[in-house]
Amino acid sequence: MRGMNDLLPGQSSVWQYFESQVATLMQRYGYDEIRTPVLEQTALFCRSIGEVTDIVEKEMYTFEDRNGDSLTLRPEGTASTVRAAMEHGLLHNQTQRLWYTGPMFRHERPQKGRYRQFHQVGVETYGLEGPDIDAEVILLSARLWKQLGLYEHVTLELNSLGSNEARAAYRDKLVAYFEAHHEVLDEDSRRRLTSNPLRILDSKNPAMADMLADAPRLMDHIDDESRQHFEALTARLDAAGIQYVINPRLVRGLDYYCRTVFEWTTSALGSQGTVCAGGRYDGLVEQLGGKPTPAVGFAMGIERLILLLETLDIVPDEARAPLDVYVLGMDASTDGSAMHLAEQLRDAAPELRVQLHCGGGNFKNRMKKADRSDARLALILGENEQASGQVAIKFLRDERSQQIIAQQDLAAALKSLLAEQTP
Ligand code: ATP
Ligand code: MG
């Protein structure tokens, strides 16, 4: 199906590498994973994301189930997380630091970095109103980029949307400005003028660039408290040595943000350059029927990050999960012993990737399979070795003569051979 990808062998190991880096990092910061269903009541997304956003207006996969209930495949993870946290009482007089990962669905025009089923890792925190938690989630993401070798290739963009009241006042000023420049507005922007004028600031239309550059800046209209919050956040980032650029036109596409918004962007992926985006959404829990609860979060697009790793060619060889050894009997008479040997090896050296030859065949055939596997060594068991408790080690990738060693020394021998072979 268009925009929905199969993840094939070879690619999936890179995903596993990425996912394990994420899971470990979240543990190290004391974040707990939450898993919610991919389906929710449609109303949840309309009420949280906002009726006049791209997502709700045109991107949701919505259908009626057999009971006539309107359901939607989640287009993002924040609404579901808030719903689940409220439903299970996770927000009663306590703070939460949560993370999730999984597929999201948006009916968009598929292109590089933009799909209809895509995957996000997200972080959501609740009950913390100070700028320290804004800084923490940004530091957490920065650490991930460093671990993956991406930090030099991404830019942190920051803005403050101010309080809801300050933003409403600014909105009026902005609409007046846009109305004075009505002739420059494209069709999309004219439509948004009444529904969501802040989003016009986000427009990439070059014909509007000059006009937008001179538009009133949200940052100049935010309330004092939001300004202090923002200054405290940037002070934390400065102290941590995290560089950023303030982008006064960064507004984000979803309705629920206030105060801090941020994006990590890259120039290496063309126009799909945002790899992670988030901010503060203090009003959302209340809007969905809970008690007022401050909240900060972000979501990153896994496909774009993997594309970036591949484009920059910085996926470690280890992440491609090559086999270490391919174990084969010389013929049917040693197949049973070969299987036994492979199992013993898995007991003795759990870190090794061991594949056993299955499917019979003559010796030539078996060796061909060993060569075609990406293993570095083949372990060959003939009748002689079987009888003497030995095994032959053949080097599949180097010009090096075969060795015969005792099976009981095998695990230790392989460890040192594989270590010395590492490029
Ligand atoms: P964009 O401006 O690229 O449409 P967005 O503002 O709609 O992004 P968010 O809803 O903030 O994106 O989602 C967070 C991240 O998820 C994005 O920065 C991006 O990395 C990823 N993402 C969003 N939509 C898609 C998609 N259709 N395909 C792949 N990744 C996506
Ligand atoms: Mg979008």
CA of 301 to the centre of ligand 1 (A): 6
3-state SS class at 153: helix
CA of 117 to the centre of ligand 1 (A): 11
Residue nearest to atom 24 of ligand 1 (CA): 114
Residue nearest to atom 23 of ligand 1 (CA): 301
Percent of the chain with pLDDT over 70: 99
Give whole-number Cα distances, 389 to 163, 299, 383, 411, 412, in Å: 75, 55, 10, 14, 16
**Ligand lying nearest the CA atom of residue 275:** 1
pLDDT at 195: 85
pLDDT band at 54 (very low <50, low <70, confident <90, very high): confident
pLDDT band at 196 (very low <50, low <70, confident <90, very high): confident
CA of 251 to the centre of ligand 1 (A): 14
Bigger pLDDT: 39 or 169? 39
CA distance 23 to 248: 33
Residue nearest to atom 6 of ligand 1 (CA): 253
Residue to mutate (ligand 1; options 18, 54, 117, 120; most atoms within 8 A of CB): 120
The domains spanning 9-163+222-311 and 322-420 adopt the same CATH topology: no
Residue to mutate (ligand 1; options 203, 298, 304; most atoms within 8 A of CB): 304
CA distance 128 to 26: 18
**257 is an annotated ligand-binding site residue:** yes
The arithmetic mean of pLDDT across residues 126-149, rounded, is: 98
Residue bearing tokens 């060619």:
313
Mean pLDDT across the chain, nearest whole number? 95
**Using one digit for the tens of pLDDT, what is the confidence trace for 70-99?**
999 999 999 999 999 999 999 999 999 999
Locate the DSSP E strands across 266-364.
274-280, 295-301, 325-329, 354-356
For 9-163+222-311, CATH gives 3.30.930.10
CA distance 389 to 61: 61
Number of Cα atoms under 13 Å in the Cβ half of residue 288: 26
Residue bearing tokens 């270590």:
419
CA distance 323 to 10: 12
Query: Atom of ligand 1 at shortest distance to CA of 272?
Result: 3
Residue nearest to atom 21 of ligand 1 (CA): 301
**78 is an annotated ligand-binding site residue:** yes
Enter the tokens of residue 187. Answer: 């069709």
pLDDT at 199: 87
CA distance 416 to 326: 17
The arithmetic mean of pLDDT across residues 125-133, rounded, is: 98
Residue 251 above 60 pLDDT?
A: yes
**252 is an annotated ligand-binding site residue:** yes
Residue nearest to atom 16 of ligand 1 (CA): 301
Helix (H) or strand (E) holding 30: none
CA of 70 to the centre of ligand 1 (A): 24
How would DSSP label each residue in 83-113?
A: HHHHHTTTTTT--EEEEEEEEEE-----BTT
CA of 107 to the centre of ligand 2 (A): 10
CA of 341 to the centre of ligand 1 (A): 49
Residue 423 above 70 pLDDT?
A: no
The arithmetic mean of pLDDT across residues 49-55, rounded, is: 85
The arithmetic mean of pLDDT across residues 332-354, rounded, is: 97
Residue 156 above 90 pLDDT?
A: yes
pLDDT at 64: 98
- Are the CB atoms for 233 and 260 separated by under 8 Å? yes
The number of beta carbons lying within 10 Å of the beta carbon of residue 387 is: 9
Name which CATH class applies to 322-420. Answer: alpha beta
pLDDT at 422: 53
Residue 421 above 70 pLDDT?
A: no
**Ligand lying nearest the CA atom of residue 257:** 1
**Using one digit for the tens of pLDDT, what is the confidence trace for 166-192?**
988 999 999 999 999 999 999 989 988
**51 is an annotated ligand-binding site residue:** no
**113 is an annotated ligand-binding site residue:** no
**Ligand lying nearest the CA atom of residue 58:** 2
Enter the tokens of residue 99. Answer: 């993370």
The arithmetic mean of pLDDT across residues 320-330, rounded, is: 93
DSSP state of 217: P
Residue nearest to atom 9 of ligand 1 (CA): 277
Sign, Cα dihedral of 161, 162, 165, 167: negative
- Are the CB atoms for 196 and 54 separated by under 8 Å? no
Residue ranges of the domains in the chain? 9-163+222-311, 322-420
**Ligand lying nearest the CA atom of residue 141:** 1
Which residue, 16, 9, 4, is CA-closest to 306?
Answer: 16
Residue nearest to atom 11 of ligand 1 (CA): 277
Residue to mutate (ligand 1; options 109, 118, 251; most atoms within 8 A of CB): 118
List all residues whose CB is within 6 A of at least one atom of ligand 1.
76, 106, 108, 113-115, 118, 120, 253, 272, 274-277, 299-301, 303-304
The arithmetic mean of pLDDT across residues 280-285, rounded, is: 95
Q: How many residues does the chain have?
A: 423
Sign, Cα dihedral of 204, 205, 207, 208: negative
Answering whether pTM is above 0.75, one says: yes
Note the helical H segments in 216-334. Answer: 224-240, 284-287, 302-311
